[in-house]
Amino acid sequence: MNRGRKCYILGMKLLMWLSAGITAALTLFLLGYILLKGIPYITWELLSTKPSYIAERIGILPDILNTLYIIFATLVFVIPLGVGAAIYLTEYAKNKRLVGMIEYAAETLSGIPSIIYGLVGMLFFCTFLNLKTSLLAGALTLVIMNLPTVMRTTQESLKTVPQSYREGAFGLGAGKWRVIRTVVLPGCVDGVITGCILSVGRILGESAALLFTAGIAHDLYGLFEGLSNSGSTLTVALYVYAKEQGEFEIAFAIAAILMILTLLINLAAALISRYFKKRRSL
Amino acid sequence: MKKKRVFENIIHGIFLILGLVTVGFVLLITVYLIISGIPAIREIGLFPFLFGRTWASTAAEPSYGILPFILTSIYGTAGAIVIGVPIGFMTAVYLAKLAPKGVKSVMSAAVSLLAGIPSVVYGLVGMIVLVPAVRKLFHLPDGASLFAAIIVLAVMILPSIIKVSVTALEAVPKEYEDASLALGATPAETYFRVSVPAAKSGIAAAVVLGVGRAIGEAMAVMMVAGNVANMPSLFGSVRFLTTAVASEMSYSSGLQRQALFSIALVLFLFIMLINAALNFFLKRDKEGGK
């Protein structure tokens, strides 16, 4: 082997190791730094109270609840829409152009930046539908954002339902709707669960789309009262505390919580996909 | 029997509507952006709006030129691509071809974690670690600058670039590589001269996806770029298209508010162009990979 070739091979290998090293180091740094700076400030008082000027304390209980409410409301709307669209595409649609159009629309939706969702959500849900700045308006905006995800994961799982099951059911005299209800729907459970986990991750991390639709208030409400009022999720609260109020300790505490939740969600997604793969191969 | 058919048709109709909801949402977004974005462009004039060099929306004699934002978004995205793509690409080749199994699964988990970190968390670390470091390193009065934003964006697009490139590289038929190895090429030569060219459409898609992510990012950039409507310079405080919308939205009114919608429309057009390019590469990857 001549020297030029040897240099090329060595150079490429070095560059690969360097790049992979940078990626690994970055992840380790971010994880370690955020957890080390955030965890000391996570106290029971922080988690269990709301901000109070009189007591001069900041609590993030309202933000935690708002996050849960918004996740709940988004999933309630997005699951039927996403599953329905996926069933239409795999079970009903025959027109190729229509299928292409729907899939192109889904791809377009997943490419639109969240700040544009926030703007349109504000114009349409808050102003036009008169929902004001509320958790419900925020959740509906997130429904549009997460629809392609749920639709795609459901579609993937429907493709694994064997065609012979459907034919068997049809052969026994079942109508289309009965086949969908008894054969197709049970087959898409894993896709829906995967879609939900991915959506929860995305909702948890979303800020730009919620800032102008769900607002930045920190009040304690029940679920239904909460949905009709303005409120900030954990992520929006982090932004406001860091950028507008300079409360970096609180911001890092929230960042550490978000980091732990992201880890848990990734773990859940990996475990679920492994579980379903195993079950399917049985 | 007839009753049953009517019932089935109704069900079919319901699913058709659910299928069309996605298309409806895209139309809704497009129509809303166009309707709310056009009036300000008409009042200001397309040319002064797009190519005006000063943005002074709250001045006594307001001026609405968004050239600084457009250029900042382009420079910022280009910078993030220049830094992020080589690192992401090399990492992807390593993970897809060279890495031992254990290293690969740990690194994949790390990349998923990077992808899942909320953008405000990137912004926060950028604000506390990167901005002061940039200030000290380059002796600036303030470290919040285009340079800091480029670094943050480069980190944020890494996971998408790595994931999509790895998928494309893993789809390269094994026979190609075997043939090259049998001809006496070493593994490293095979990966870069055979596998990478075979996966080039998929890698191009990864880059375009990165461009889309970078140009659309708002919150992280808002926290590190300084947010002053200057013409872009590497170490100056700048404002992107996204942050221009986000920073004035809460208190704007009248023509200023309408101009913000017009900025969103410009951003939307950029994104649509990028989507079209992405689709082109993905389609070619599907056809060429087989």
Q: B36 to chain A, minimum CA–CA distance in Å?
A: 9
For residue A239, give the chain B residue with the closest CA: B120
* B80-127 residue pLDDT tens: 999 999 999 999 999 998 889 999 999 999 999 999 999 999 999 999
Looking at the fold, whether A138 and A167 belong to one and the same domain comes out as yes
pLDDT band at B243 (very low <50, low <70, confident <90, very high): very high
Give dist(CA A84, CA A185) in Å, integer. Answer: 10
Beta partners for residue B75, in sequence order: none
Contact B217, A113 (CB under 8 A): yes
> For position A49, what pLDDT does the model report?
81
Task: Kindly state whether A87 is in contact with chain B, defined as any CB-CB distance less than 8 angstroms.
Answer: yes
Residues 6+ away with beta carbon under 8 Å from A241: A58, A247, A248, A250, A251, A254
Nearest to A177 among B11, B212, B249 (CB): B11
pLDDT at A55 over 80: no
Give dist(CA A192, CA A201) in Å, integer. Answer: 14
* B202-216 residue pLDDT tens: 999 999 999 999 999
Nearest to A255 among B86, B124, B242 (CB): B124
| pLDDT (mean) for A239-262 | 91
For residue B221, give the chain A residue with the closest CA: A208
Are the beta carbons of B111 and A23 separated by less than 8 Å?
A: yes
pLDDT band at B275 (very low <50, low <70, confident <90, very high): confident
pLDDT at B154 over 90: yes
Q: Which string of DSSP letters, residue by residue, matches A75-133?
A: HHHHHHHHHHHHHIIIII---HHHHHHHHHHHHHHHHS-HHHHHHHHIIIIIIIS---S
Are the beta carbons of A23 and B99 separated by less than 8 Å?
A: no
CATH number for region B67-289: 1.10.3720.10
Q: A52 to chain B, minimum CA–CA distance in Å?
A: 24
Are the beta carbons of B18 and A175 separated by less than 8 Å?
A: no
Are the beta carbons of B94 and A123 separated by less than 8 Å?
A: no
Which residues in chain B are contacts of A188 at CB distance < 8 A?
Answer: none
Looking at the fold, whether A11 and A137 belong to one and the same domain comes out as no
Looking at the fold, whether A230 and A108 belong to one and the same domain comes out as yes
Residue the block writes with tokens 């609180």 = A250
pLDDT at B289 over 60: no
pLDDT at B146 over 60: yes
Are the beta carbons of A84 and B94 separated by less than 8 Å?
A: no
Task: Kindly state whether A142 is in contact with chain B, defined as any CB-CB distance less than 8 angstroms.
Answer: no
The three state secondary structure string of B127-180 is HHHHHHHHHHHCCCCCCCCHHHHHHHHHHHHHHHHHHHHHHHHHCCCHHHHHHH
Which residues in chain B are contacts of A2 at CB distance < 8 A?
Answer: none
Nearest to A239 among B98, B155, B219 (CB): B219
Are the beta carbons of A115 and B23 separated by less than 8 Å?
A: no
Domain extent at residue A19: 3-40
Looking at the fold, whether A122 and A240 belong to one and the same domain comes out as yes
pLDDT band at B281 (very low <50, low <70, confident <90, very high): confident
pLDDT at B252 over 90: no
pLDDT at A228 over 60: yes
- Scored b (16 or more CB within 10 A) or e, A214-229 reads bbbbbeebeeeebbeb
Give dist(CA B220, CA B154) in Å, integer. Answer: 12
Q: B48 to chain A, minimum CA–CA distance in Å?
A: 23
- Interface A–B counts its CB contacts (< 8 A) at 241
Looking at the fold, whether A11 and A85 belong to one and the same domain comes out as no
Q: Per the structure block, which two tokens stand in for B69? A: 């934002």
> For position B1, what pLDDT does the model report?
67
> What rounded mean pLDDT belongs to chain B?
90
Angle at alpha carbon of residue B240, lines to B235 and B241, rounded to 5°: 165
Are the beta carbons of A111 and B88 separated by less than 8 Å?
A: no
* Residue A72, domain CATH: 1.10.3720.10
| pLDDT (mean) for A189-215 | 91
> For position A264, what pLDDT does the model report?
93
pLDDT at B12 over 70: yes
Are the beta carbons of A175 and B4 separated by less than 8 Å?
A: yes
| pLDDT (mean) for A233-238 | 92
Are the beta carbons of B116 and A201 separated by less than 8 Å?
A: yes
pLDDT at A120 over 70: yes
pLDDT at A54 over 80: no
Nearest to B121 among A104, A175, A255 (CB): A255
> For position A166, what pLDDT does the model report?
87
> For position B271, what pLDDT does the model report?
93
* A128-186 residue pLDDT tens: 998 888 999 999 999 999 999 999 999 988 888 888 888 888 888 888 888 888 888 88
pLDDT band at B159 (very low <50, low <70, confident <90, very high): very high
Give dist(CA A181, CA A173) in Å, integer. Answer: 14
Residues in chain A, overall count = 282
Residues 6+ away with beta carbon under 8 Å from A6: none
Contact B199, B171 (CB under 8 A): yes
* A68-108 residue pLDDT tens: 999 999 999 999 999 999 999 988 888 889 998 998 999 89
Which residues in chain B are contacts of A264 at CB distance < 8 A?
Answer: none
> For position B135, what pLDDT does the model report?
92
> For position A282, what pLDDT does the model report?
63
pLDDT at B288 over 70: no
pLDDT at B141 over 90: no
Least confident of A221-235, B20-34, B165-179: A221-235
Nearest to A123 among B32, B91, B121 (CB): B32
For an interface test with B, which of A19, A81, A124, A216 has the most B Cβ atoms less than 10 Å from its Cβ? A19
Q: What is the ipTM metric for this complex? A: 0.90
Pick from B150, B130, B145, B126: nearest CA to B210: B150
**Segment (H or E) for B217:** none
When divided into structural domains, chain A yields a total of 2
Which residues in chain B are contacts of A235 at CB distance < 8 A?
Answer: 118, 120
> For position B212, what pLDDT does the model report?
92
Task: Kindly state whether A170 is in contact with chain B, defined as any CB-CB distance less than 8 angstroms.
Answer: no
Share of chain B above pLDDT 90, in %: 63
For residue A205, give the chain B residue with the closest CA: B118
Alpha carbon separation from A268 to A139, A194, A279, B162, B165 (Å, rounded) = 23, 9, 16, 21, 24
Nearest to B90 among A19, A144, A205 (CB): A19
Are the beta carbons of A23 and B129 separated by less than 8 Å?
A: no
Looking at the fold, whether A86 and A177 belong to one and the same domain comes out as yes
Looking at the fold, whether A88 and A207 belong to one and the same domain comes out as yes
pLDDT band at B290 (very low <50, low <70, confident <90, very high): very low
Looking at the fold, whether A129 and A107 belong to one and the same domain comes out as yes
| pLDDT (mean) for B66-75 | 93
